[in-house]
Amino acid sequence: MQNILQVRNLEKIYGSKGNITKALDGVSFDVPEGEYVGVMGASGSGKTTLLNCVSTIDSATAGNIYIEGTDVTTLKSSALANFRCKKLGFIFQDYNLLDTLTAFENIALALTITKTNPRVVEQRVRDIAEKLGITGVMGKYPVQMSGGERQRTASARAIVTDPALVLADEPTGALDSKSAKALLESFRAMVKEMQSTILMVTHDPFSASYADRILFIRDGKLFTELVRGADGRKEFFDKIIDVMAVLGGEVA
């Protein structure tokens, strides 16, 4: 299977002489198409730095990040903006929906910008809304929706352009457990039915247990990984808890 993401010897150093933090220290891994990968680690271990480097929001100090074969560490700003818009989908903790647009309009926006035929836009938005279970809120504005509905709308928006890679940083962070479960099930539907590839940072073992594989980061290095394989969610959850115990420190 083709690797959507290849990270090689990634290094990120913050600060300058006398006051430097090595946030990432030689991180390498691959993510094949259609895999749902979780990233876990203690607070300050480098999770967000990793996600921000992969998402091209932050620049790496050394190393390479290939997304569908393109080394994004070599792209200049205009090419980078274009690449981000075409190839990446983002899901943040705080939704980032536009308040003055309905759910339908929020999701359709990414396609409207690329001048897609309105009938194609309509069909595509309806399809994704159905898969994520939010058909009923398409006409609502963000203030009229629950947190979970907003987050699934944000997820629909992230995948409507069919990005190569979906990046999520603590997507369940602001949700109650029922909404979190619905969102995580939506992520599984994105992987199963739309072959989405997801890289998700989370401190929460329940959220992580929905992924196919977990990368554990410690002090900016890849500590270990856990593959779900044939395990059910509960078995995988128990294994995640075991690794967290070995990892030590407060996972946050």
Ligand X SMILES: Nc1ncnc2c1ncn2[C@@H]1O[C@H](COP(=O)(O)OP(=O)(O)O)[C@@H](O)[C@H]1O
Helices (H), 138-201: 147-159, 177-194
Q: How far is the CB of 250 from ligand X (least distance, A)?
A: 10
- Compute the distance between CA of residue 44 and CA of residue 171 in angstroms, rounded to an integer: 18
Residue 47 or 228 with smaller CB distance to ligand X: 47
Residue 41's binding partner, choosing from ligand X, Mg ion, none, with beta-carbon cut-off 5 to 8 A by kind?
ligand X
- Tell me which residues touch ligand X (CB under 6 A): 14-15, 21, 23, 41, 43-49
Q: How far is the CB of 134 from ligand X (least distance, A)?
A: 29
Residue 209's binding partner, choosing from Mg ion, ligand X, none, with beta-carbon cut-off 5 to 8 A by kind?
none
Question: Footprint of Mg ion on residues 47-76 (CB under 5 A)?
Answer: 47-48
- Compute the distance between CA of residue 86 and CA of residue 35 in angstroms, rounded to an integer: 19
Strand pairing class (36-41; 3-14)? unpaired
Quick one: 60 exposed, middle or buried, by C-beta within 10 A (0-12, 13-18, 19+)? buried
Q: Does 93 bind Mg ion (CB under 5 A)?
A: no
- Compute the distance between CA of residue 121 and CA of residue 127 in angstroms, rounded to an integer: 10
Residue 45's binding partner, choosing from ligand X, Mg ion, none, with beta-carbon cut-off 5 to 8 A by kind?
ligand X
The window from 6-14, 39-47, 226-234, 240-248 that contacts Mg ion (CB under 5 A) reads 39-47
Nearest residue to 168 via CA among 250, 57, 251, 93: 93
Residue 47 or 150 with smaller CB distance to ligand X: 47
Residue 148's binding partner, choosing from Mg ion, ligand X, none, with beta-carbon cut-off 5 to 8 A by kind?
none
